[in-house]
Chains A and B, each alone.
Chain A
Amino acid sequence: MTAGTRTVGLGVEKPAAVAASAPGRNGARRRLTRARSDGLMAALQWIGPSYLIFLAIMAFPAVWNIVISFFTVSYGSDKFVGFSNYGQILGSSQFYSSLWLTIYWTASVFVGQFLLGLLLALFFNRRLWVGKFLKPLMIIPWAVPGIVAATAWTFLYSQNGPIDQVTKTLFGIAPAWLSSTTLAMPAVIIAGIWKGAPFYFLMILAGLQSIPPELMEAARVDGASRLRVLVSIEMPYIKNVLIVTSVLGLIWTANYFDGIYLITQGGPINATLTLPIWIYNTAFSDFNLSEASALSVILLVIVLILSIPAIRERRLT
């Protein structure tokens, strides 16, 4: 997109709509039967209902939550405490440990999902008799609710469960995956990679299949190696798909709750207590709603700052 379009449309508009609303740029496309503006009141008849719901379920709660984060909420009396809830959080070592765990979780799961999805997509990007039958099955991990994935993995990791039986026969050891502070995080990361990889698989496969066959044929005639084709043709061609998939995947993963909470509840000894789970436990296990409110504000600010480029990316690419 050109810089000119961006200034007109605040970077959010689509080219066609921009052309229509800025007749000077492209007079031929201006519709004479239409007024220049339909007016905000007319527009509200169409977009008003959606905004009512957004205001009631998103904006108002977010603002109200900021107010509450300056109080301590207790039975009967709410006391204004200024920034003390925030001080409590920023002064506790748990905050930094949870922040680190969130980064650790997000980065590992992202890399794992991306690589697994890419490898599967590369494998299935060919003519296979079984492809038509297998491809829909491959998205099952992503299609099952988080609680089902969590149940399956809790079962697999359980003492004397299937994984224990396999490692015991092969290596003679049966580590207690979910009750070890060092192994619990890798365990939920593996489950998380399994759950989300099909999303990358599906998106990357669709991207690969949009590459014109002539391009691949030309590379083959020129004698390019498989790796060379991947690096010089396939990856650049699907760059946009990779960016959007990764941005969405990163946001989803950083905020993922079900997969961790339903397997470990953040334990053992807070070893898997990422920020979303800490918030949930603070509110619903410790019943400290005011601190949970302040934590939500902090998480919201972090997410919004991180996603501004993502929103721009989505509209501009």
Chain B
Amino acid sequence: MTQRLKLVATNMAGVVVAVIVLVPFLWTVLESFHGSDVFAPTFSLFRPTVSSYQYVLLHTAIPQEFLNSLIACAAALAISIPVSCLAAYGYSRLRFRGKAVLFYGVLVTQILPATAMVIPLYHVWSLAHAFNNLVALGVAYAAFNMALAILLVRNFFDNIPLALDDAASIDGCSRFQTFWYVLRPLVTPAVAAASVFVFINAWQDFLLASSLITNSGRFTVTVGLYAFEGANTTNWGAILASSVLVSIPSVLMFAVAQRYLVRVVSGGVKG
């Protein structure tokens, strides 16, 4: 009986711990259903209302900014994923001089922080007149996330026996045919995981978007939300409702990606 009681207590403790950790976000979610008078005594009767969400969806730029973010994310995915798969195959299957050095270069790009690269990019963007271009922003996202994708997919390639390549080549497949018809279907999980991570990182970015996009019509969700907060400092209901909306895609993607995550991060180690 005491055993059982202890078990119940531990589970309860687990819930309490989780609630404490999540309080800041739970608060955001709760208050977003509170309407506009967020600072009314919070412990009074709580009648949820979606008025803040209605306001955000109908009277703010958030829907447009969702679209802008999706365009940048789509561009990032469309560029980084095919290019990373090719490179991953090259590092896994080909032998050539300078491979180690080139691969070292890939690892360096993974560590280059966006904070140190934002000014250099700003200069190049002004050379190339690429400001306010969501596809160009997507290219930048692709560059910052390709190392991760290459590492992840290469790891999968490395775990596929070479015998499979040999069999395909005996059957008359060219290298590219082997890549496309034999190996590509086998690395789908890695490609899926890489895509999810590219999307999350692109969706969450504030730094690059805020310096490479200057026209408010092209703002992504993160920059748009920040601008909205600056312009409507008292409309907490709408600010918090927008926050919840902006979080949904990235939280969903994280839920999908969670089981890959550990493998991704330790992937560079075990190999």
Residues of B within 8 A of A300 (CB): 112, 116-117
Contact in complex: A314, B269 (CB < 8 Å): yes
Interface residues of A in 105-164 (CB under 8 A from B): 120, 123-124, 126, 128-131, 134, 136-149, 151-153, 155-156, 160-162
Residues of A within 8 A of B22 (CB): 137-138, 140-141
Q: Given B90, B124, B243, which contacts A61 in the complex, CB threshold below 8 Å? A: B124
Residues of A within 8 A of B122 (CB): 283, 289
Q: Given B87, B95, B204, B261, which contacts A38 in the complex, CB threshold below 8 Å? A: B95
Report the Cα distance A298→B265, complex, angstroms: 28
Residues of B within 8 A of A141 (CB): 21-22, 24-25
Nearest CB of chain B from residue A232's CB, rounded to whole Å: 23
Interface residues of B in 1-32 (CB under 8 A from A): 10-11, 13-15, 17-18, 21-22, 24-25, 27-28, 31
Report the Cα distance A262→B224, complex, angstroms: 13
Report the Cα distance A165→B27, complex, angstroms: 14
Residues of B within 8 A of A104 (CB): none
- Asked if B101 is at the interface of the complex by the 8 Å CB criterion, the answer is yes
Nearest CB of chain A from residue B124's CB, rounded to whole Å: 5
Interface size class of A (residues with CB under 8 A): 35 or more
Residues of A within 8 A of B121 (CB): 57, 61
Q: Given B96, B243, B255, which contacts A40 in the complex, CB threshold below 8 Å? A: B96
The binding surface of chain B is classed by DSSP as helix
Nearest CB of chain B from residue A116's CB, rounded to whole Å: 8
Report the Cα distance A225→B239, complex, angstroms: 49
Q: How many A-B residue pairs have CB under 8 A?
A: 296
- Asked if B114 is at the interface of the complex by the 8 Å CB criterion, the answer is yes
Report the Cα distance A53→B21, complex, angstroms: 40
Contact in complex: B28, A147 (CB < 8 Å): no
Determine, out of A180-188, A211-219, A240-248, the stretch whose residues face the partner at the interface. A240-248
- Asked if B119 is at the interface of the complex by the 8 Å CB criterion, the answer is yes
Nearest CB of chain B from residue A32's CB, rounded to whole Å: 10
- Asked if B42 is at the interface of the complex by the 8 Å CB criterion, the answer is yes
- Asked if A280 is at the interface of the complex by the 8 Å CB criterion, the answer is yes
- Asked if A299 is at the interface of the complex by the 8 Å CB criterion, the answer is yes
Nearest CB of chain B from residue A46's CB, rounded to whole Å: 3
Contact in complex: B268, A244 (CB < 8 Å): yes
Residues of B within 8 A of A142 (CB): 254
Residues of B within 8 A of A15 (CB): 271
- Asked if A292 is at the interface of the complex by the 8 Å CB criterion, the answer is yes
Contact in complex: A147, B112 (CB < 8 Å): no
**How many B residues have CB within 8 A of the partner chain?**
98
Interface residues of B in 81-135 (CB under 8 A from A): 83-84, 86-87, 89-92, 94-109, 111-124, 127
How does the 8 Å CB contact mask read for A300-316 relative to B, with 1 for contact and 0 for none? 10011001001100110
- Asked if B193 is at the interface of the complex by the 8 Å CB criterion, the answer is no
Report the Cα distance A52→B225, complex, angstroms: 33
Contact in complex: B83, A257 (CB < 8 Å): no
Contact in complex: B120, A293 (CB < 8 Å): yes
- Asked if A269 is at the interface of the complex by the 8 Å CB criterion, the answer is no
Residues of A within 8 A of B221 (CB): 145
Report the Cα distance A130→B265, complex, angstroms: 26
Contact in complex: B207, A258 (CB < 8 Å): yes
Report the Cα distance A275→B113, complex, angstroms: 12
Contact in complex: A33, B169 (CB < 8 Å): yes
Report the Cα distance A141→B265, complex, angstroms: 18
Report the Cα distance A219→B221, complex, angstroms: 51
Report the Cα distance A239→B195, complex, angstroms: 29
Report the Cα distance A162→B112, complex, angstroms: 38
Residue of B nearest to A13 (CB): B100
Q: Given A65, A152, A241, A299, which contacts B28 in the complex, CB threshold below 8 Å? A: A152
Additional A-B contacts beyond A54-B143, A138-B21 (19; CB < 8 A): A20-B95, A39-B96, A46-B90, A50-B146, A56-B143, A57-B140, A136-B258, A138-B22, A140-B25, A145-B204, A152-B24, A152-B28, A152-B243, A203-B265, A240-B269, A241-B266, A279-B119, A311-B111, A315-B271
Q: List 10 A-B contacts (CB under 8 A).
A: A47-B102, A53-B139, A61-B120, A65-B123, A136-B258, A151-B239, A165-B42, A292-B119, A299-B115, A314-B107
Residues of A within 8 A of B (CB): 9-17, 20-21, 31, 33-34, 36-40, 42-43, 45-47, 49-51, 53-54, 56-58, 60-62, 64-65, 68, 120, 123-124, 126, 128-131, 134, 136-149, 151-153, 155-156, 160-162, 165, 194, 197, 202-203, 206, 240-241, 244-245, 248, 251, 254-255, 257-258, 262, 275-276, 279-280, 283-284, 289, 292-293, 295-296, 299-300, 303-304, 307, 310-311, 314-315, 317
Residues of B within 8 A of A (CB): 10-11, 13-15, 17-18, 21-22, 24-25, 27-28, 31, 39, 42, 79, 83-84, 86-87, 89-92, 94-109, 111-124, 127, 139-140, 142-144, 146, 150, 158, 162, 166, 169, 200, 203-204, 206-207, 211, 221-222, 225-226, 229, 236, 239-240, 243-244, 246-247, 250-251, 253-255, 258, 261-262, 265-266, 268-269, 271
